[in-house]
Amino acid sequence: MRYSIATPLSAIFFGVVLGIAGGLPIQVTLNGYATSQCKAKTYTHQLVSARGFWGDTKHCVDRRYL
Domain boundary assignment for the chain: 6-65
Q: State how far the Cα of 10 lies from the Cα of 37, in Å rounded to an integer.
A: 41
Specify the pTM.
Answer: 0.72
Sign of CA dihedral 13, 15, 18, 20: negative
**Res. 1: pLDDT tops 70:** no
Residues in the chain: 66
Q: State how far the Cα of 62 lies from the Cα of 66, in Å rounded to an integer.
A: 7
Segment 2-40, tens digit of pLDDT: 777 778 888 899 989 998 888 889 999 999 999 999 999
